[in-house]
Amino acid sequence: MKKFINTDKIYPAIGIFGILIIWQALVVIRQTPMYILPSPIDIGLALVKDWDLIYYHLIVTVYESLAGFAISIILAFLISIFMDSFNFIKKLLYPILVISQTIPIIALAPLFIIWFGFGMMPKIVTVVIVCFFPIAINLVDGMDSIDDDYLKLFKSMKASKIQTLYHLKLPFSMVYFFSGLKIGATYMIMSAVIGEWLGGDRGIGVYMLRAKNAYALDRVFASIVVIVGLSILLITLIELMSKKILVWQNERDEE
């Protein structure tokens, strides 16, 4: 068993490390200039050298993302409970939710700046627009997929709507909620960055834009590394949380 766990971690590590070595070698051999493609080592150096500035910008991005994410979760719960309680509302809102997702966010984000100014607000709104959907849809689908026999059981116990929600629907849809949360988390930093690109004075997106305009590609890549790292960290955190909360689900699957 141990052996398998080791190879599980070794192979991805070899893959990532291999790509970095090939990248470094190509840049060195072909003597690619920094403003075309910096080498991994250049990127690492830029990250270390510029860390204070990156950190200064990053804090704002993290704040916007987490605020947007929290709002998304609250909104998703409210809307999905509302949709589950009234069938006509579900029929009313479901297609609108799906359609709203097909609108390119890059076209909407400039409008948010017109509406909400250059502060954090338009970025938070962008994050909410992107993250709300996967969480809400997963919750709605989760509540929808409850076995009818369970609902009958609760009916026979004469449970009220709120009791059924609390004891059955919400716990049951936690599995779906967490898979929505993971999808949301992958996009959340990225959507805040998109919001920052279009205007603002602080945030990792602003930093990235300025670095790009200065052809400091090593710094552009350094900020990419930071965004990727942060996103992975968040996904891992959610994964750990879901494992802890959904113990019963995992144990049952292993049976």
Of 24, 85, 186, 249, which one interacts with other proteins (CB under 8 A)?
249
- How many other CB atoms are there within 10 angstroms of residue 197's CB atom? 18
Residue 150 in the binding site for other proteins (CB under 8 A): yes
Of 155, 233, 240, 241, which one interacts with other proteins (CB under 8 A)?
155
Rounded to the nearest 10 degrees, what angle do helices 121-144 and 51-85 cross at? 40
Residue 146 in the binding site for other proteins (CB under 8 A): no
Work out how close the CB of 238 gets to other proteins at its nearest, in angstroms, rounded to a whole number.
18
- Determine contact, residues 122/109, Cβ cutoff 8 Å: yes
Q: What residue has token string 């945030």?
A: 203
Residue 244 in the binding site for other proteins (CB under 8 A): no
Nearest Cα neighbor of 150 from 163, 138, 141, 140 is: 163
Cβ proximity to other proteins: between 85 and 249 the closer is: 249
- Determine contact, residues 195/109, Cβ cutoff 8 Å: yes
Cα–Cα distance measured from residue 212 to residue 70, given in angstroms and rounded to the nearest whole number? 31
Residue 49 in the binding site for other proteins (CB under 8 A): no
Residue 153 in the binding site for other proteins (CB under 8 A): yes
Kindly tell me the burial class for residue 43, based on how many C-beta atoms sit within 10 Å of its own C-beta (0-12, 13-18, 19 or more).
buried
Residue 171 in the binding site for other proteins (CB under 8 A): yes
Residue 248 in the binding site for other proteins (CB under 8 A): yes
Of 30, 49, 91, 152, which one interacts with other proteins (CB under 8 A)?
152
Of 3, 158, 213, 244, which one interacts with other proteins (CB under 8 A)?
158
- Determine contact, residues 220/211, Cβ cutoff 8 Å: yes
Cβ proximity to other proteins: between 59 and 157 the closer is: 157
Identify the DSSP state of 167.
I
Residue 243 in the binding site for other proteins (CB under 8 A): no
Q: What residue has token string 């959904």?
A: 246
Q: What residue has token string 């950190």?
A: 55
Count of residues engaged in binding other proteins, rule: CB under 8 A: 23
Residue 163 in the binding site for other proteins (CB under 8 A): yes
Residues that bind other proteins (CB under 8 A): 147, 149-150, 152-160, 163, 167-168, 171, 174, 246, 248-249, 251-252, 255
